[in-house]
Structure 1
């Protein structure tokens, strides 16, 4: 019988889950069953093609940043608070699943602790390596414990401060999106602003100011928005949408952070991109935005712009060659990566 794959999904933001479901579907098409493992409360897992193992929440409070702040924490960990029953149950369920199902591989997206747990369980692991400067001790030990590393971005977007041994261990998967969207309408001049679940969302007052600064364009906003104010006629608030891609198709300019999900969609659709990287641990979004800017694939502004800055930023964004960002998207990236993962599983026996 074909040995299964376990796929641990981090609960910060929706991008990890979207990537996991896309890869799980591609593995399923190769006959490799994949069990998604994570805390899925409030997330849409209807698209998962196989079993789902819902884990107890491990957060201490709502300000969770992936670290526990303890000055006596072992140096190989980011987050190991003591006397937390959720963590105890969480790790126990992963271990019990591995003991019962004898997986060929555990994909870890992302957690230094789960990566090290996989090694302790004697299970080969494929650890997802995100953008940013990740040369701290926990990341390095997780990378060392892994059989291989998976970068969910093209090699052209990798940072220059990555040690050679990490690059050599990395499988560059490219942008790992889901099923292609149907390209129906052509661009109609609109600006589409996207806020993800992993950040603070938008402020209606700032969006009103932006729309007023560029009044000749229709503005469409996807994602959470807070605050009070009456939107002008050219500002349209759509709230949270499960799939942003159909909304991006008619956009002449996309505005948003440098999260994996949005950058993947922008590249796949070949959209001019005004990138506003959000603060993230290890400068994850900042590093990715710098690489996009270096390649000429985006205009980058490292904060929400003041009203007076919008006309020039929009004008600069509209002069971008969309072919540059489109060339970063490989149509076969998902299938190629799934095939490489299946090969790792076969090597495991």
Structure 2
């Protein structure tokens, strides 16, 4: 029997789930079974590449900010609240699954605590290393515990404060799951995307932006709060499962620097006005800086003032879309799956 891979999927944002599904299917194509492990409330798991191990939620409140409220904790941990029965149960289920299935590898995307737990369970791990400044003790100890590290972005987007031993241990996967939608001509529209892990859009600000650029149709994907009178060129679609068909016709895409959106924009080769959102360890800011450095996106910190929109849209439309498209490696997913399979074989 082929030993499986366990893939721990963090529940904040949609990018972790999308990456896990893409990699899991690629591994299954190589004959390596993959079980996705995580808290999947609100996620349609029908697309999973195999079994799913659902865990109790470890959050202390509905909104997760990564803080556990503890007065003190071991230096190797980020999040370890005391007296939380959900955490005891989730760690017990991971341990039971590992004991029963004898996994060849645990992919951890992402959790310093689960990375260290995999080592305690004597399971080799591949720990996902995201963008941003991750030189604090918990991250470095998780990286040290891992067999290898996986960066889900091209090496050209890596930051400058990464210790050399961490970089040497990293396999740069590139953009994973960067599949293009069926080609169609651009119709001049602007597409604004808000992801699951952020605060969403504010309707009054969207209405102001669309009114300042009235010659373009504005299509908004994702959660939007607030209400008001919409200009005729503003269309709010709410949450959509697949943004790619909407991006295909866009002349300009506006959104944060989350992995899912950046991957989709690069795959489509779209001009990109990137508005990085505040994330722990400067994750989105670091990725946006890399895109700007390569001329692959126009970056603006935070939501622009209303009077800035005409100029920003004009500058965004002047971008060369081949710059961001050049970051996509067509074989990234297959290449990464092959390297994971090699790691499983030892």
* TM-score of Structure 1 vs Structure 2, range by shorter chain: over 0.9
Normalised by the size of structure 1, how large is the TM-score? 0.98
Q: CA deviation at 1:45?
A: 1.3
Within-5 A mapping of 1:149-168? 149-168=149-168
- TM value normalised by structure 2: 0.99
CA distance in 2, matches of 1:179, 1:102: 33
Residues 66-88 of structure 1, C-alpha deviations (whole Å, 9 max, x = no match):
23132310000001111100000
Q: Please name the residue that 1:128 is paired with.
A: 128
Contact persistence 2:179–2:264 (CA under 8 A): no
Unaligned segments of structure 2, at least 5 residues:
none
Instruction: Please say if residues 128 and 152 of structure 1, whose CA atoms lie closer than 8 Å, have aligned partners that are also in contact.
Output: yes
Query: For residues 261 and 177 of structure 1, what CA distance do their matches in structure 2 show?
Result: 9
> In structure 1, what is the equivalent of residue 246 of structure 2?
247
Cα pair 1:18 1:178 within 8 Å, conserved: no
Contact kept in structure 2, 1:154 and 1:173, CA below 8 Å: yes
Offset of residue 62 of structure 1: 2.0
Q: What's the CA shift string for 1:176-220, capped at 9, x where partnerless? A: 12654222x211100000000100000000000000010000000
- Cα offset for 1:275? 0.1
**What is the alpha-carbon distance in structure 1 between the residues aligned to residue 65 and residue 110 of structure 2?**
13
Q: Give the conservation status (yes or no) of the 8 Å contact 1:39–1:54.
A: yes
Q: What do the CA deviations read for 1:248-267 (whole angstroms, capped 9, x no partner)?
A: 00000000000000000011
| Cα pair 1:22 1:178 within 8 Å, conserved | no
Q: Tell me the equivalent position of 1:119.
A: 119
After superposition, the C-alpha distances for 1:87-113 in whole angstroms (9 at most, x for unaligned) are 000000000000000000000000000
Over 3 Å counting, the alpha-carbon distance change for 1:297 and 1:179 in structure 2 is: closer
* Structure 2: distance between partners of 1:180 and 1:267: 9
1:212 and 2:211 are equivalent in the alignment: yes
Contact conserved, 1:148 with 1:171, CA < 8 A, in 2?
A: yes
Superposed CA RMSD in Å reads 0.8
Whole-angstrom CA distance in 1 between matches of 2:230 and 2:193: 17
Conservation of the 8 A alpha-carbon contact between 1:131 and 1:159: yes
CA distance in structure 2 between the partners assigned to 1:42 and 1:122 by the alignment: 32
1:266 aligned residue: 265
Residues 1:223 and 2:222 are matched in the alignment: yes
2:302 paired residue number: 303
Question: Structure 1 CA distance, aligned partners of 2:99 and 2:66?
Answer: 27
Q: Separation in 2 of the partners of 1:295 and 1:179? A: 22
- How far 1:339 moved relative to its partner? 0.6
Distance 2:64 2:314 in 1: 38
Please state whether the residue corresponding to 2:46 is helix, strand or coil. Answer: coil
Q: Which residue is equivalent to 1:68? A: 68
User: Is the 2:210–2:218 Cα contact (8 Å) retained in structure 1?
Assistant: yes
Give the match's secondary structure for 1:46.
helix
Which residue in the other structure is 2:278 paired with?
279
Residue 273 of structure 1, CA deviation: 0.2
Query: For residues 189 and 83 of structure 2, what CA distance do their matches in structure 1 show?
Result: 51
Q: CA deviation at 1:232?
A: 1.1
Between 1:224-233 and 1:280-289, the stretch displaced more is 224-233
Q: Which residue pairs with 2:16 in the alignment?
A: 16
Paired positions, count: 346
In the other structure, the counterpart of 1:28 is 28
Asked if the contact 1:112/1:142 (under 8 Å) is kept, the reply is: yes
Which residue does the alignment assign to 1:148? 148
- How much does 1:227 deviate? 0.1
Cα drift, residue 63 of structure 1: 3.0
